[in-house]
Amino acid sequence: MNMKSASVFAAVTLAAMPVVAEVSLTNDIAVMTFDKVGRISSLRERDTGRELVANGKFHQFVFIGRPKRLAYPVRMETRGPDRWAWVLNPDKGGGEVVCSFKSFGKGWTVTCEEVPPDAERIYMFEIGIPQWCKYRGYCAHMLSDDDSGICTRSYDVSVAMRIHSAYMRIDVEKPHPLTGWKVGLVAGARKHLVEALRQMTREAGVPTTVNGGAWSLGSEANRGSYVFADLWSFQTDDWVDFALRGGFSTIHLHSWWRSLGHYRYNKALFPEGAVSWSNTVAKIHAAGLKAGFHTLTGCIRATDDWVASEDCTNLLDRCTHVLSRPFAPEDKVLYVDDKPDNMHHTFLAYGSYGNAIRSGRAVSQ
């Protein structure tokens, strides 16, 4: 090969490496900037220019967990329109995570498209708690003050969203698929946040209601007060009278279930099941009141059919462990390879997590 052909080859090789020095994405209310390593270096309001994340820190957009180690990006490369790769440290196994971005007006949807085959976990949008943060919305997964807010949400209910003492983050762990899932980001002035969150909800394609979520503040149905009612169907008239005299707008039915888990009707309270229930609700509505019903979806009672059942494919797992020794029916201690989740101390409490253990398709307590 002569020097001329060697020079041409080198030029082609360099051109095929689309390394970026900085990437900025803009939507209707914010500008987000990544540095050359792929970290979030800025998230700024368009209205006011207020910086929401910097404070001298760099915030990780994405990194992965491999067996016994983490792998962080060392550079960011383009992979087409609105699509980038976060190239991981070769000393930690290399590979890359590829994500695409789509603006939905006042926010972005991020889709995780490619990950290294040996990845066990993906961490996304690790944003340090900013100094200006006054409120932490653990259900909304939002950091805010009276002027601004940052909200990240997974569009998949089984993807974990957590606000820690120093940062907020989204975690995805096997056996959940590590590709194909989507995350939404909204950031900007508070006056834009309600509409931005409504846009995000529509973008996610999840069920919506005019009384809940991003629509709750504007709902007249939420202005009144409600009374919890351990109501027997034959007592409906008495509860209606009580609610009217007390100025309540809603009778909230409680303990109507046979057991937490399947939520079948308690036949002691509603002898004819759905018929008794419908008659009760019709009487409440006829009096000009609203009817609600209570659930505790994080709980499964030991008497529920899920326990000792092998038909539990649609239950969400709070955490997953690998057994370090076999677990027999008569055993009282469960031995696992990794440290147990810190929620396991809660058992059959009001807001209990981890009160049921699934092995294969069987649930036990």
Examine the pLDDT at 58 and tell me if it is beyond 80.
no
Closest C-alpha among 69, 68, 74, 126 to residue 95: 74
Instruction: Quote the pLDDT of residue 54.
Output: 73
- At 59, the pLDDT band (50, 70, 90 cuts) reads very high
Q: Please indicate, yes or no, whether residues 108 and 183 belong to a single structural domain of this protein.
A: yes
Q: Please indicate, yes or no, whether residues 341 and 233 belong to a single structural domain of this protein.
A: no
Examine the pLDDT at 247 and tell me if it is beyond 50.
yes
Higher pLDDT: 340 or 283? It is 283
Domain count, the chain: 3
Rounded to an integer, the average pLDDT of 78-87 is 96
- At 359, the pLDDT band (50, 70, 90 cuts) reads confident
Percent of the chain with pLDDT over 70: 84
Rounded to whole angstroms, how far apart are CA atoms 233 and 277?
A: 7
Examine the pLDDT at 218 and tell me if it is beyond 70.
yes
Contact 261, 309 (CB under 8 A): no
Question: Is 29 a domain residue?
Answer: yes
Q: Please indicate, yes or no, whether residues 180 and 261 belong to a single structural domain of this protein.
A: no
Q: Please indicate, yes or no, whether residues 63 and 116 belong to a single structural domain of this protein.
A: yes
Q: Please indicate, yes or no, whether residues 259 and 322 belong to a single structural domain of this protein.
A: no
Final residue of a structural domain among 180, 199, 218: 218
Question: Tell me, what CATH number does 75's domain have?
Answer: 2.70.98
Arithmetic mean of pLDDT over the chain: 86
Instruction: Quote the pLDDT of residue 3.
Output: 37
Rounded to whole angstroms, how far apart are CA atoms 336 and 341?
A: 11
Higher pLDDT: 230 or 362? It is 230
Percent of the chain with pLDDT over 90: 60
Instruction: Quote the pLDDT of residue 328.
Output: 82
Q: Please indicate, yes or no, whether residues 58 and 120 belong to a single structural domain of this protein.
A: yes
Rounded to an integer, the average pLDDT of 334-356 is 61
Q: Please indicate, yes or no, whether residues 43 and 162 belong to a single structural domain of this protein.
A: yes
- At 77, the pLDDT band (50, 70, 90 cuts) reads very high
Question: Is 329 a domain residue?
Answer: yes
Domain that holds residue 166: 16-218
Instruction: Quote the pLDDT of residue 13.
Output: 37
Q: Please indicate, yes or no, whether residues 137 and 28 belong to a single structural domain of this protein.
A: yes
Q: Please indicate, yes or no, whether residues 177 and 53 belong to a single structural domain of this protein.
A: yes
Rounded to whole angstroms, how far apart are CA atoms 219 and 266?
A: 31
Question: Is 7 a domain residue?
Answer: no
Helices 236-246, 274-286: inter-axial angle, 10-degree rounding: 30
Instruction: Quote the pLDDT of residue 214.
Output: 93
Contact 50, 147 (CB under 8 A): yes
Q: Please indicate, yes or no, whether residues 157 and 265 belong to a single structural domain of this protein.
A: no
pLDDT in tens, 290-336: 999 888 766 777 677 776 666 666 666 667 778 888 888 788 788 88
Examine the pLDDT at 351 and tell me if it is beyond 60.
no
Question: Is 11 a domain residue?
Answer: no
pLDDT in tens, 94-152: 999 999 999 999 999 999 999 999 999 999 999 999 999 999 999 899 999 999 999 99
Contact 113, 100 (CB under 8 A): yes
Question: Is 5 a domain residue?
Answer: no
Residue 97 β-bridge partners: 86
Rounded to whole angstroms, how far apart are CA atoms 229 and 284?
A: 12
Q: Please indicate, yes or no, whether residues 176 and 305 belong to a single structural domain of this protein.
A: no
Q: What angle do CA 227, 233, 236 make, to 5 degrees?
A: 50
- DSSP per-residue codes, 302-320: TTSTTBT-S--TTPPPS--
Q: Please indicate, yes or no, whether residues 174 and 46 belong to a single structural domain of this protein.
A: yes
